[in-house]
């Protein structure tokens, strides 16, 4: 993406002050047009009325005359050239090169993301790391959860509400999937 560049203080530049706010807005719209369409500062005459839909008729003619008289626009065959456009903004060639470099950077990034995520993580962040295989069974079986006692207390404590809910969930799962009922925890 490209951006239009304005010199700090451009709104108080003698040309902006001399031609007035309507002409200055038309000039700002013309700079934007040139960047969007990558014209290197050239405005075709047919584009001028489309730059700002609120400036029409005699106001548009006056604004164009003002911009030409202060030197912000230079009349050329087929339209106008924005004065010093390429001094402050990137050329079409520069913008296209930047876009191409951005596309290449993005493609390299996507290529890395598309390959194995574990391998990428190992190669990029820690070349000495070892990949851990994916777990196929839970490492903790809910039926192994036992009520705890406080330190030094040998008596059996009452299961907590959470433990009761976990036990009920486990029994519901075992009822729905009997093949899981007799599995030993992995590890």
What are the sequence ranges of the domains in the chain?
10-88, 142-179
Tell me which of 60 and 2 has the higher pLDDT. Answer: 60
Q: What is the pLDDT of residue 130?
A: 58
- Cα separation, 23 vs 14, in Å, equals 13
Whether the Cβ atoms of residue 40 and residue 95 lie closer than 8 Å to each other:
no
pLDDT classification of 63: cutoffs 50, 70, 90? very high
pLDDT classification of 56: cutoffs 50, 70, 90? very high
Tell me which of 36 and 147 has the higher pLDDT. Answer: 36
For the CA atoms of the chain, what is the radius of gyration?
A: 35
Q: What is the mean pLDDT of the chain?
A: 81
List, for residues 158-181, the tens digit of each pLDDT value.
778 888 888 888 788 888 877 766
Please state, as a whole number, how many other Cβ atoms lie within 10 Å of the Cβ of residue 73.
26
Q: What is the mean pLDDT of residues 10-33?
A: 91
The CATH code belonging to domain 10-88 is: 1.10.10
Q: What is the pLDDT of residue 10?
A: 84
Q: Is residue 47's pLDDT more than 90? A: yes
Q: Is residue 64's pLDDT more than 90? A: yes
Q: Would you list the DSSP string of 132-175? A: PPPPSS-SS-GGG------TT--SPPPPPHHHHHHHHHHHHHHH
């Amino acid at each position: 993406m490209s951006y239009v560049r304005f010199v700090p203080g451009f709104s108080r530049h003698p040309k902006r002050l001399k031609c007035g706010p309507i002409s200055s807005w038309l000039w700002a719209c013309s700079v934007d047009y040139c960047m969007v369409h990558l014209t290197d500062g050239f405005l075709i005459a047919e584009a001028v009325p489309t730059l700002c839909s609120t400036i029409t008729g005699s106001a548009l003619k006056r604004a164009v005359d003002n911009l030409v008289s202060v030197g912000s626009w230079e009349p050329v065959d087929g339209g106008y050239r924005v004065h010093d456009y390429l001094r402050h903004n990137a050329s079409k060639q520069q913008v296209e090169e930047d876009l191409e470099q951005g596309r290449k950077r993005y493609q390299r990034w996507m290529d890395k993301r598309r390959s194995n995520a574990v391998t990428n993580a190992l190669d990029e962040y820690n070349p000495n790391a070892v990949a851990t295989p994916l777990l196929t069974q839970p490492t903790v079986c809910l039926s192994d959860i036992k009520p705890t006692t406080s330190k030094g207390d040998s008596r059996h404590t009452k299961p907590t509400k959470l433990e009761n809910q976990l036990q009920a969930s486990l029994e519901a799962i075992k009822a729905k999937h009997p093949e899981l009922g007799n599995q030993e925890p992995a590890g």
